[in-house]
A and B are shown apart, each in its own frame.
With several copies, the nearest count.
Chain A
Amino acid sequence: MDGLLPELDVIRKDFPILERTFDNGQPLVYLDSANTSQKPQVVIDTMVDHLERHNANISRAMHQLGAESTEAFEGARDKVATFIGAPDRDEVIFTKNATESLNLVANTLAWATGDLAVGEGDEVVITEMEHHSNIVPWQLLTQRKGATLRWFGLTEDGRLDLSNLDELINERTKVVSLTWVSNMLGTINPITQIARRAHEVGAIVVVDASQAVPQLPVDVAASGADLLAFTGHKVVGPTGIGVLWGKRAVLDQLPPFHGGGEMIETVRMDISTYAGIPHKFEAGTPPIIEAIGLGAAVDYLGHIGMEAVHAHEQAITGYALEGLATVPGLKVLGPLEARERGGAISFEVEGVHPHDIAQVLDSRGIAVRAGHHCAKPAHARFGVQSSTRMSSYLYTTPSEIDALVEGLEYTRSYFKLG
């Protein structure tokens, strides 16, 4: 099959969990990577080495362990900056997950003054395919500030309906926030085109790249984003760490987020002044081990090469789309061309509820997700409550896709569907 990673067997060996077999003897077939990715040994080992030999608080600690810890933590920032093409390493803010990154933006905008302030008459534009983490923060912001929330609808084949682009993004628009790659439909959105329109009217562009950074070569500077969020645990890194990248000019204009240690310049009882970026937005002891783990993770991906990872994902996704098409009564939600989508494929099977599908697959060791995948509005748009989702990653093999397709056949027979 064209596009597969050349040394897939070797890569799989890097991920200890892939050797897991369950009590019933079934080996793990992990097809839930859009939910969270598995971790290579090097990420785990890097964290362990730090915990066992270098652990200390950062910045504030001046001793040798403190210097080692600070260097490792700030080194991770350099790695992330390089990985996403950030023009300036200080533009990389460490958060706890993508959700916090997006809330950081919505929350600081709530208190912003000047150009960035959002108030009555202003509009914030999102899309109907957003993850809840890119919907609820904007609902809270617009409700609280008396602004209006608007959104792009979806076409029948699961793309953004851009027919009213120029009306939707208009002089009143202050923020446009959208996902680069949908975690439910798999759709890859034309963020650069949308950003161009947003910038014409002076709006800022927030990109949820939670599913894009794991799968695509990402160059934040070229993307059109002013601010961009992603999460560590989906890029073979640990939980507890996320990233907000932002243009310095925008970040500098935003007020601080949380108050506390590390984000200050000086503190008096009556008033404080704040540090510059990135520290302004990193109050408290940051997720040190987690940032260091993320650094190892992006190194790992960078070593394989994101072009290669992307090609692998496309090959597997294409193969999966073909295989799924052979299952009677199965309907894919979202684009049907592998070239135009990411590696998450949500589908329905007539006559069986997604939970029941996932349960039968699980009894065969196959891990998929069933439910609304934190995208209830997109499900509602297609008139369904929930769906089953398979999602691949750089360690996924064609034979795992075969196992899925067989498992779906078995599910149909188990539930006695003709």
Chain B
Amino acid sequence: MSNELDALYQEIILDHYKHPHHQGLREPFEAEVHHVNPTCGDEVTLRVHVDDGVVTDVSYDAVGCSISQASTSVMADLVIGKPVAEAMGIHQEFLTLMQGKGTVVPDEDVLEDGIAFAGVAKFPARVKCALLSWMAWKDATTQAVPSDATASKEI
């Protein structure tokens, strides 16, 4: 049973959980959103600062389990500094991994620490935890950026 758990709770996840990156709410920002996981009550308030098409900052205040906290930290690492379109691509890649029920092999070049979440995809009840802040980020970024800008770049 420990193996099972270890597949879920990778060291990387526990590290991010204990020492989350980019935590806190900062200025400036163009959009702030508040997302909750209705099932368990986990919450995140998240701000996005986009400057000249680049995700310049993601700041947040979040309450939740190790998976959701670590996922928020990894997400911030991954998207900060990236052009919006590229960041959206990473979001899509992470989404595909999470919805793959454990059958998708993650690409470390794209997802970096995010590959540690491959094990989460086998625990359907935890997928929502891992996705909470990614969904919040996408929502906020879509608000922060004029929609046709994102759309056209996404192609």
* A interface, CB within 8 angstroms of B: 24, 26, 59-60, 62, 66-67, 70-71, 264-266, 275, 279, 353-356, 359-360, 363-364, 370-372, 376, 379, 385-386, 414-415
Contacts and interface: CB of A to CB of B under 8 A. Distances in A.
Given A70-B124, A355-B126, A356-B65, A385 B5 contact: no
B43 interface: yes
Give the 6 A-B CB pairs with smallest separation, nearest first. A355-B65, A371-B40, A353-B65, A372-B41, A62-B125, A363-B1
5 contacts: A266-B38, A356-B66, A363-B2, A370-B40, A386-B41
A66 B126 CA distance: 12
A266 B65 CA distance: 18
Contacts of B14: 415
Interface of B: 1-2, 4-5, 8-9, 14, 36, 38-43, 63-67, 123-126, 129
Contacts of A354: 40, 65
Given A67-B125, A359-B8, A371-B39, A24 B65 contact: no
B69 to A, nearest CB: 8
Contacts of A371: 39-41
B1 A364 contact: yes
B4 A386 contact: no
A367 B106 CA distance: 31
Contact of B38 (A265, A363, A370): A265
Given A66-B125, A67-B124, A355-B129, A60 B39 contact: yes
Interface of B is mostly: mixed
Contacts of A24: 1, 4
A414 B17 CA distance: 14
A355 B2 CA distance: 17
B60 to A, nearest CB: 15
Contacts of B39: 59-60, 371
A70 B43 CA distance: 22
Given A353-B65, A359-B123, A386 B40 contact: yes
B65 A265 contact: no
Contacts of A359: 5, 8, 123, 126
A354 B4 CA distance: 18
Contacts of B125: 62, 66-67, 70
A275 B124 contact: no
A24 to B, nearest CB: 5
B43 A355 contact: no
Given A356-B67, A370-B40, 16 more contacts: A24-B1, A62-B40, A62-B125, A62-B126, A265-B36, A266-B38, A353-B64, A355-B42, A355-B66, A356-B66, A359-B123, A363-B2, A372-B40, A385-B41, A385-B63, A385-B64
Nearest to A261: B38
Nearest to A372: B41
A125 B66 CA distance: 38
A387 B40 CA distance: 9
Contacts of A279: 38
Nearest to A363: B1
A60 B125 CA distance: 9
A372 B66 CA distance: 17
Contacts of A266: 36, 38, 41
A356 B70 CA distance: 13
